[in-house]
């Protein structure tokens, strides 16, 4: 996995917000982006933490794309909206910084 792979997963969620698998992949990608930007969740899985620690900080454009893609995914349903509240909040903090 690299930054381009994360970008592709996030962009796919904006392009096709109906596909469940694409949405799940985008959420995972957004978690990696926001964690690398300094706002990890309380419990980041070991492999993700290792990736974040070795790849540096994402550029602003990728953070913005992650934020936009989570808006697209959250619009799928109330369940998705609730599930993504924390992630969207952390992405908003990073994007605003």
Tens digit of each residue's pLDDT (9 = 90 or more) over 80-94: 888 899 999 999 989
The residue length of the chain stands at 97
Q: Which domain holds residue 79?
A: 3-96
pLDDT in tens, 1-53: 899 999 999 999 999 868 999 999 999 999 999 999 999 998 888 998 999 99
Question: Rounded to whole angstroms, how far apart are CA atoms 50 and 12?
Answer: 25
Number of folded domains that form the chain: 1
| DSSP per residue, 8-33 | HHHHHHHH-TT-HHHHHHHHHHHHHH
pLDDT beyond 90 at 95: no
76 three-state secondary structure:
coil
Whether the Cβ atoms of residue 80 and residue 74 lie closer than 8 Å to each other? yes
- Position 32 scores a pLDDT of 95
- Position 17 scores a pLDDT of 66
| CA nearest neighbour of 28 among 8, 53, 56 | 8
Token pair for 71: 């808006």
- Position 82 scores a pLDDT of 87
Token pair for 64: 């913005």
| CA nearest neighbour of 33 among 14, 71, 60, 13 | 60
pTM for the model stands at 0.90
């Amino acid at each position: 996995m690299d930054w381009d792979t994360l970008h592709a997963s996030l962009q796919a969620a904006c392009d096709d917000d109906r596909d469940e698998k694409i949405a799940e992949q985008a959420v995972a990608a957004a978690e990696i982006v926001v964690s690398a930007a300094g706002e990890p969740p309380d419990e980041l899985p070991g492999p993700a933490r290792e990736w974040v620690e070795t790849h540096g900080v994402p550029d602003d454009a990728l953070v913005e794309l992650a934020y936009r893609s989570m808006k697209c995914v959250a619009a799928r349903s109330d369940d998705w909206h609730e599930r993504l509240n924390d992630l969207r909040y952390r992405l908003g903090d990073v994007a605003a910084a």
